[in-house]
Each structure stands twice: as C-alpha cells, then as structure tokens.
Amino acid sequence: MDHAAHQQTNPPTRRTVLRALGLGAAAAGAAPLLSACGGGLKGSGSTSGDTIRIGYVSPRTGAYAAFAESDLYILGQARAAFAKGITYGGTTYKVQILDRDTGSDPQQAATIADELISQQGVDLMLVTSTPETVHPVANKCESEGVPCISTIEPWQAYFYGRGGTPEKTFTYTYHFFDGIEHISTAESDMWRLFDTNKKVGVLWPNDSDGGAFRDRKTGYRAQAATKGFTFVDPGAYENGTKDFSSIIATFKKEGVQILAGVPTPPDFATFWTQAAQQGFKPEVATISKAILFESSVASLPDGLGDGLCTASWWVPQYPFTSSLTGQTAQQLADDYEKSAQAKGRKWNQGLGPNHALFEVARDVLRHADPKDRKAVAARIGKTGLDTVLGRIDWTGGGAANPVKNVAAIPMVGTQWVKGSGGAYDLNVVSNTLVPSVKLDGKARKL
C-alpha cells in the first residue's frame, strides 16, 4: 500500500498512547504483571482442540503503515508453510493464523489483543512494529498468561518501557530486535564518515521510543559509541507537532551539523520540510523509525530524502537463510518485489524480522506442547535459531541476550540515494557490526 495515502491526519495522542501502554494516572494498576511479582497466572493452563491459533498483530494502516507493507506477502508465505500443520508428540495440529490491523492506534491494539485472547483463544501471539503496537499487545498477553513474541522496537524501549528490570523479568512475553547500543554504533560510524564539528541535534519525542533514547543510564548518550560528540537536546516534543520552528532555531543557533532522532514518519516529514524552508541543513542526518522504508522517503517533497541515513536491521545483502522457506535474504527480497502483494513496491526492512517471527513460531511450536501456554512461553526462552534475520537467541547471555526476555540483533549503516526514475536505493555504507555484509560504496553529504 502507498504509505503516504494511509498516514493518519492526527496521530495517536500522548494521552491515548499512555492509556494503552498502561502508563496513565493508574499506572500502578495497569502496568504489566512481571514474573517476579507473580504475574501470568490467569489463563496459563492448556487450551483444547486440534487447531493451533496464532495471532498476528501489526499496524497495516495509519501513521506506521510502512512497517507492515509486506504483511500480505509474509502472511501468504506463513500460511503456505503451515498448510501441512505442525506435529508435536505424535499429534499433527492444523494451524490458523488470525491477522489483525491496529490502524497504528495503541487503544485499538489493546482491544485486538483482548479479542484474540478472550474470543479466539489464541495459543501464541505475534506482534510487530513500534511501542504503540507492541506494548498494548504484550502487556495483555503477560497479564492473561498467553505466550507472545514481538519485534521491530528497540529492546530497551520494549523491556524497560514495560516496567522490566534485570530482577523483574516477564514470564510470557519475549522480544527480538536491535538495541540502542546497535543504533548508536551504526549511526556514529556514519557520523565519522563526514568532517563535522561533532555537534548532534536530536529529535526525541515525548513517547516510549523517545524516552528510551533520552534515558541517561541506558539511552543514546550512555553508549560508548557516542562518546566525543556533543548533544543538543531541545527537549521532548509531542507527536503530531505541526511547527518545529523553535527546535530548528535551536539547532541553527548551536551550530548543529549532525541530526539524529526517532520521530514518526509524519512528524519527520513536517520537520524536514520546515528545516529546508528555514535554512537548516546538517552535513549528515541519521534518522530511526521515520525513514526506514522507501515509501516514506519517496513521500518527502522536493527530493528531500536524497542522502538521508538510517541504521538498518535487515537488507537483502545479509548472508542468512530462512528456516521457514529456505530463501536467502536476497531471494526473499526479490520474490517479494515480483509478487502481486508488493504492488510494484521495492523490498523493505520489515520483510526480515516479520518473516522471522513465523520462523521462531514454528520452531517453538515444534518443541513444546502447543496447547500448553506455559510450556510454549518457557520454550521461547530456550530458543536459539538461525533465521533470515540472522541468529535469534534467548539462551546465550552477553550482548546477544542482554536480559532474559530479549534476543538482540546487530545492524548496518545505510544511506538513501535517489536513483533513476525517482526511486530510492538503500546503500550499505557502514558494516562494523555485520562485517559479512559488503559495502555498496562511500557515503556522501546531504
């Protein structure tokens, strides 16, 4: 689908987001139940029947629609792979995938999670893309005792943003994705490719992602990779802001030559357009969340997407193969572009992690009684699997398994370059964390 055509005129308000994430005035009562607090008892028994029901929740429309552009293709792959069922303990179960669109609304995500659990009786929940989608679903699964696997959200925002600590982890909810340590490494690697004054202006909104990046102990500035750079933080802004003039004026006054941040796609389009109009042009801009997808970059006016950089969690050059279909990363991207579901669009980063969700789901359900929710959840925590995204491992500890519920993945540094016909190519320009990925060339100034 065309991302620009599905962007919300009014993105979810902070009040709506906080209410759905369980962080409003009654936060103590709404927060997810952690294992150390005795959570997860409700619904933790077995489910009945000969059909495994898998819920899949994503923001297919609304402000974050680009994250789910490849959903129909991936769902087709998953349903084909599960067509013969899953066998465990001598019993072959049919598999039903129940996919739902949140409209990029966290309250709708919470409602969908409740419906899939209480009415559909799902045995396993899969959820993807941004805290506004992941948190409401994961929180509901944790409180109801339903195993859940999520992706496409920095792990610090997922874990700490839901109230987790190294001492108080989760019982039913598990996550795999990059962390702020990976983003900061990939982005600062790209900063060092340019001759700058090392002044970094940051766009960190007043939401879960922004809070995770701003955190002094675990956030962006706490990472070793960003040492030696000076940060200019004009303060948290509200999602849906229409006038960024004061932030732009601050950046200009402070002589900012590097831009970084984690804005929503609509907010960055507003900011970047106003920045061009008001004469703010940094040497390099490394933006998370807003410019991950070609459709989002192409929607920027006047070719303003040309030269923007982003840390990427999946590219076709990855030397990995799917355990579900046997496709290499390049074959997955090529097949998607040829498919009817792509509607002429190019590959996008969502292909890797969202495909890997179903790889992990099949592996888990083959090794635990699929009708025993507690056993399925426990099995997730014992899983290490090679996927089209690379190694996903909740068992190894260290950088790849920083806390119990998280499997961390590395990233590469990439730059959007406008090609023939107005389309944008995503070139790999930094590969410190994944040296097996070949560089496409040198980075260039905006």
What does the pLDDT average to over 9-18? Answer: 41
Measured CA to CA, the distance from residue 383 to residue 360 in angstroms comes to: 8
Can you give 251-278 as a three-state secondary structure string? HHHCCCCEEEECCCHHHHHHHHHHHHHC
Q: Residue 432: pLDDT above 80?
A: yes
Give the pLDDT confidence score for residue 397 in this predicted structure.
Answer: 83
Residues 289, 130 contacting (CB under 8 angstroms): yes
Q: Residue 19: pLDDT above 60?
A: no
Give the pLDDT confidence score for residue 68 in this predicted structure.
Answer: 94
Give the pLDDT confidence score for residue 4 in this predicted structure.
Answer: 34
DSSP string over 192-260: TTS----EEEEE--SSHHHHHHH-TTTSGGGSGGGTT-EEE------TT----HHHHHHHHHTT--EEE
Q: Residue 130: pLDDT above 90?
A: yes
Between the CA atoms of 330, 333, 334 and 335, what dihedral angle is there, to the nearest 10 degrees? Answer: 120
Q: Which of 135, 134, 131, 100 is nearest to 30 (CA)?
A: 135
Q: Which residue in the block uniquely carries the two structure tokens 């496709």?
A: 327
Q: Please, what is the end-to-end C-alpha distance for the chain in angstroms?
A: 28
Helix, coil or strand: residue 104: coil
Measured CA to CA, the distance from residue 243 to residue 250 in angstroms comes to: 13
- Percent of the chain residues topping a pLDDT of 90: 82
DSSP single-letter state for residue 441: S
Give the pLDDT confidence score for residue 38 in this predicted structure.
Answer: 34
User: What is the number of helices (H) and of strands (E) in the chain?
Assistant: 15, 16
What does the pLDDT average to over 370-386? Answer: 97
Q: Residue 26: pLDDT above 70?
A: no
Burial class (CB in 10 A: 0-12, 13-18, 19+), 56: buried
Give the pLDDT confidence score for residue 34 in this predicted structure.
Answer: 42
pLDDT digits (tens, 9 = 90+) for 162-217: 999 989 999 999 999 999 999 999 999 999 999 999 999 999 999 989 998 999 99
Q: Which of 368, 409, 325, 315 is nearest to 147 (CA)?
A: 368
Q: Residue 7: pLDDT above 70?
A: no
3-state helix, strand and coil shares in percent for the chain, rounded to the nearest 5:
40, 20, 45
Q: Residue 3: pLDDT above 80?
A: no
> Which band of pLDDT confidence, cut at 50, 70 and 90, is reported for residue 419?
confident
Question: φ and ψ at 99, to 5 degrees?
Answer: -95, 145
Q: Residue 15: pLDDT above 90?
A: no
Name the residue type at position 206.
Answer: N
Residues 130, 59 contacting (CB under 8 angstroms): yes
Give the pLDDT confidence score for residue 149 in this predicted structure.
Answer: 98
Least-confidence region, from 22-31, 267-276, 286-295, 304-313: 22-31
